[in-house]
A and B are shown apart, each in its own frame.
Chain A
Amino acid sequence: MAHAPAASHPEAAARFAADVPRTHWHDESLWFMRVKRDRAAAQVPEWERLRELAQAIKAHALATLPALLEQFERNATAAGATVHWARDAAEHNRIVHGLLAERGATRLVKSKSMLTEECGLNPYLEARGIEVVDTDLGERIVQFRDEPPSHIVLPAIHLKKEEIGALFHEKLGTAAGASDPKYLTEAARGHLRQKFLAAQAGLTGVNFAVADTGAVVVCTNEGNADMGTSLPPLHLACMGLEKIVPHAEDLGVFLRLLARSATGQPVTTYSTHFLGPRPGSELHIVIVDNGRSALLGRDPYRRALSCIRCGACMNTCPVFRRSGGHSYGVTVPGPIGSVLAPTIDPAAHAALPFASTLCGSCADVCPVRIDLHHQLLAWRGELAAAGHTPAGKRLALRFTAWVFASPARYALAGRLARFALRVLPAGIMARLAGPWGRQRELPAAPAESFRDRYRRTHGRA
């Protein structure tokens, strides 16, 4: 992706976290989303049962994916939609561009689609003379700033209202220094209303594609998916192939989980079930693979295909909250992103599974119960075995393992470490201890280890 920063996560995170007050502000904003999720979930007594069902429905869907996709295609086509298939990002972009170009459409409005971010659609279309307007307010803000969203549900969570005010003053002519969210949102409403009215095509993502009806379900709070698709004569719906659910009744489970997990709302304002085109217009659905079929064949990561893109894992992740989505350098950041990214490019994203303490909070908030922390651990093993982790660190760990494999070597090493801690000047010790000692004291060094003392007091075993 064009925006991937050259810095690794640790470097980017250190830069982000250097501004402590701002990092605390970012952390509190996202923690508040977590708290709202908790409150909303607490209102559903059978919350954990819903999560079990969601996990099971997705597992079943993934096990029967080819048949479900064919069923979906039949039903969607019968309803009057045209279904396209794209093997990768490039093919997806060509298909979307082709549909627009054939109809002479040069003004496109888009509602949120992380898939199109993943495919780099916007720059592809813009390079070919198509105006692409992201209509979700958060996405329009980052589009104005020419940067990627920092969160899959809250694209502009990293920005303060004063910064958005300054941006809108420049782009929309709002009053200088104005930062009231109501005022700024009103300005965006007017601006985007003009774009909706002038659009020649509307593109949406797909939250859920329903196999037994052929419908695509799109959930928004703003109404931008409905605005963008109810006026122009062409609706493009782009979906990752894992978005399939078998039955309409499954939506009862997913829609009860999605908004509560994402924002703490009981449901999004608009949950629109599109079935076929409006009379006199066209609906084209683009089903995209782009590595998903390969992921389906990989244990344990195939479970990551269950993701419904709610963002709850990002809101709860203590590392994400303190490093920001941009520090991950991938389209979908945070815990789920750190599981998905190495499947795309293991070498480039080898640091991401290590950008985690494996605390496991993500797995406990995930509405479809993806065991994210276990998958991150599994990635560490694969990446180390493939040689993508720093050689020095591997050597140090293997050396330590060799030392610890023998009780005598282990005891000697311990004695040496404690001796060094007691005898060497604190400054030298701190430097030897490297990144530990920069901000932290080393532990005090007792004269005796526990085993020394036990041997002394209990006699030799």
Chain B
Amino acid sequence: MPTVALFVPCYVDQFYPQVAEATLRLLERHGCTVVFPEAQTCCGQPMSNSGEAAAAAPLCRHFLDTFQGHEYVVAPSGSCVGMVRHQFPDLVPDHPALEQVRTSTFELCEFLHDVLGVRRVEGRFPRTVGLHRSCHAQRELRLASGSERMVAPFDKVKALLSSLEGITLVEPARSDECCGFGGTFAVAEEAVSCLMGRDRLDEHARAGAEVITGVDMSCLMHLEGLARREGRPVRILHAAEVLLGEAA
């Protein structure tokens, strides 16, 4: 039984606890013992992405202190895992637990697909679902081959979702264009950010999606914010919630 330390991004912890709850239940359903190290706070990504390496470093150190020694660290967030995997080495190169934690930290779908080898997720989700492919998940973690590179196609998140009973997956016209969140970009470049988000929502609507899902709650928070302000009927759920399935 693998032991997983649950890493819950700060905004998920505070505003979308149901996503963390779904992540925990999903991992337990697949045979993991899940613990939640309560000392965790934030991986430091908002600071690092704004160029404030000095402000981020203590948070990175605290993260490594909190999560060292666990067999696996799993988070329902592509961007946070990307931060740990690719940016921690530049920010906290001397921390003794860096390599151990870095190589043990996984995004949820990546963990299910690659580490646990899950190919079929038990459960029903009889809805039309559009997959929003978050940029960090696509191009930092390579959870899918991506539209730009000429490589053999693969898509770990789609593989898991499509195994659910009753699900209909639809594709937006631009399979992995950015939603426009981009951290502080959402606020600093509000006009373009919102236009990008609306364009994504329009594409999913044209494809017939009742539900939009993805692995990054930050993207989904931005899309949901726009959708709710405009009164769009689309539901926005994290992939953990979809993979848990709907109760019969």
Query: Which residues of A are in contact with B by a Cβ distance under 8 Å?
Result: 9-10, 13-14, 17-18, 20, 23-24, 27, 31, 38, 41-42, 44-45, 47-48, 316, 318-319, 322-323, 354-361, 363-365, 373, 377, 379-385, 389, 393-394, 397-398, 400-401, 404-407, 410, 414, 417-418, 434-436, 438-446, 448-451, 453-455, 458, 461
Contacts and interface: CB of A to CB of B under 8 A. Distances in A.
30 contacts: A14-B191, A20-B195, A23-B195, A41-B150, A319-B189, A322-B195, A357-B178, A360-B138, A381-B51, A384-B52, A393-B50, A400-B46, A401-B56, A401-B59, A407-B39, A410-B10, A436-B225, A439-B190, A441-B224, A441-B228, A441-B229, A443-B11, A443-B221, A443-B224, A443-B225, A444-B15, A446-B15, A446-B18, A449-B14, A451-B8
For chain B, the bracket of interface size reads 35 or more
Interface centre among A27, A41, A380 (most CB of B within 10 A): A380
Contact of A443 (B15, B49, B199): B15
A449 B141 CA distance: 28
A453 B21 contact: yes
A446 B14 CA distance: 8
A398 B135 CA distance: 26
A364 B176 CA distance: 12
A355 B39 CA distance: 35
B135 A445 contact: no
B58 A358 contact: no
Interface string B135-155: 100111000001111110000
B226 interface: yes
B20 interface: yes
Interface in B48-91: 48-56, 58-59, 62
**Pairs A-B, 7 closest by C-beta atoms:** A357-B182, A440-B225, A380-B51, A384-B51, A364-B148, A360-B139, A450-B17
Given A48-B150, A383-B51, A394-B52, A401 B44 contact: yes
A448 B8 CA distance: 14
Interface centre among A13, A365, A448 (most CB of B within 10 A): A13
A305 to B, nearest CB: 22
Contacts of A14: 190-192
A370 to B, nearest CB: 14
Interface in B131-182: 135, 138-140, 146-151, 174, 176-178, 180-182
B104 interface: no
Contacts of B59: 401, 404-405
B38 A451 contact: yes
A417 B135 contact: no
Contacts of B10: 404, 410, 414
Nearest to A441: B228
Nearest to A458: B36
Interface in B186-205: 186-197, 199
A18 B229 contact: no
A441 B225 contact: yes
The A interface, classified by DSSP as helix, strand, loop or mixed, is helix
Contact of A442 (B178, B195, B225): B225
Interface string B194-222: 11110100000000000000000000011
B177 A9 contact: no
A380 B12 contact: no
A356 B56 contact: no
A394 B174 CA distance: 35
Interface centre among A24, A361, A438 (most CB of B within 10 A): A361
A364 B14 contact: no
B139 A364 contact: yes
B13 interface: yes
B184 interface: yes
Nearest to A401: B55
Contacts of B58: 401, 405
A358 to B, nearest CB: 6
A31 B76 CA distance: 31
Contacts of A24: 199
